[in-house]
Amino acid sequence: MKKISVITLHRVKNYGSVLQTYATQVVFEKLGCTVTFVDFWRKDLIDDKLLRNAPTASHMWNKNFVTRMIYKLARRITTLKKIKVFNSFINDNIKITQQRYYSIDELQQNPPEADVYCTGSDQTWNSDYNGGILTPYFLEYAPEKKPCIAYSASFGKNDLDNWEVEDTKKLLQKYSAISTREKSGVDILQNLGLEGIQLLDPSLALSLDEWKTIISKPLFYKKYMLIYQLNKSKDFDLYVEKIAKKKGIPLIRIGVYPGQVLQPGKMIYIPSVEDFLSLFYYAEFVITDSFHGTAFSINFNKKFAVIYPPKYSTRLQSILQLTGLENHVVRDYNDFSCFDKEIDYQKVNTILKEERNKVKVFLLEALNLKIEN
């Protein structure tokens, strides 16, 4: 039984990050491996630092004292709840190293023991998102001669910046097998003279039946339209209001920021991870600007519409192209045709089944395990 050590963005306080971590664990365990996640904390994600920074917001400096105090309190409460929700899920469901790591030096001095070292999914290689090239996510601590692989890693953008090209190429040369989440990632690798393959995000590598094991009971017993919005947009807000009136169906919003209480829909504020999944599973329709919101809509066979965010829409484009669902992007805020389009989920599920098999074949070969007939 091979022991796999995975590093990923599991400590980001959002649903997509912890759920792709959970899915990665299940994927490796299904192959008969033991897997442990490196408990590496990016400096800006440390809980104490999040709480210290929670009250600050430059756009509130010109507000009156009472407004600032209310905003600070709301931000602190939000941060505390996120810490509780996401840390609890990790503690209950994810196998992590006993040691916490905060730097590449700590990792190099005492690296986790494993047969294979793996960079996991999410935007592990996005230098914009990570505040520069973070070498732990490139397995710079892995002992020499130990195999290094990447499972559905993401650069999060179409092209590397000029300043990072040479360093990224050098860091990736140690990998014996690389898979990326987006086709654009494969293109980046080719431009670096490296080989790679596009694979599903781990959240899609698990079937609906596998996700059902942790989906909670329904929070509502009437039809509802689910809103999962990560970026502020007045156009988005007006659009969902119009469609709710047009269809005569109530809006339920997964809230992740205090200000979303003022946006359309009844807000469920930072639900548990299991309730997050439930809200998607039982929704009549989903409107989202989130990659993982889109991924779970597709995986749970929902009717949905996607509104591209201002940044990092590459990953959304990639999964929609892969499943042939590009026509579910809202490009005109006066166009509501997405809501009447039937989705051939038999075709989509066939594609997902084939792509899941590609994940299995890639990992079996990368881990030098026996490929079943």
Sign of the CA dihedral running 289, 46, 150, 114: negative
Under DSSP, is residue 224 helix (H, G, I), strand (E, B) or coil?
coil
Distance CA 75, CA 27 (A): 36
Sign of the CA dihedral running 75, 77, 79, 82: negative
Which domains does the chain possess? 3-206+353-366 (3.40.50), 215-341 (3.40.50.2000)
Low-confidence ranges of the chain (pLDDT < 50): 373
* Residue 57: per-residue pLDDT: 55
8 A C-beta contact, residue 246 and residue 306: no
8 A C-beta contact, residue 273 and residue 86: yes
Sign of the CA dihedral running 12, 13, 17, 18: positive
8 A C-beta contact, residue 227 and residue 264: yes
* Residue 310: per-residue pLDDT: 82
* Residue 373: per-residue pLDDT: 45
Distance CA 240, CA 127 (A): 33
Tokens in use for 2?
């091979």
8 A C-beta contact, residue 6 and residue 39: no
Distance CA 46, CA 101 (A): 11
Max distance between CA atoms of the chain, in angstroms, equals 69
Distance CA 249, CA 150 (A): 43
Place of tokens 């993982």: 292
Query: Which H helix or E strand runs over 280?
Result: helix 273-281
Distances (CA, A) of 83 to 90, 241, 275: 11, 31, 16
Which of 256, 219, 311 lies closest to 82 in space, CA to CA?
Answer: 256
150's CB contacts (< 8 A; 6+ apart) are: 118, 119, 175, 177, 178, 179, 180, 196
Distance CA 92, CA 110 (A): 25
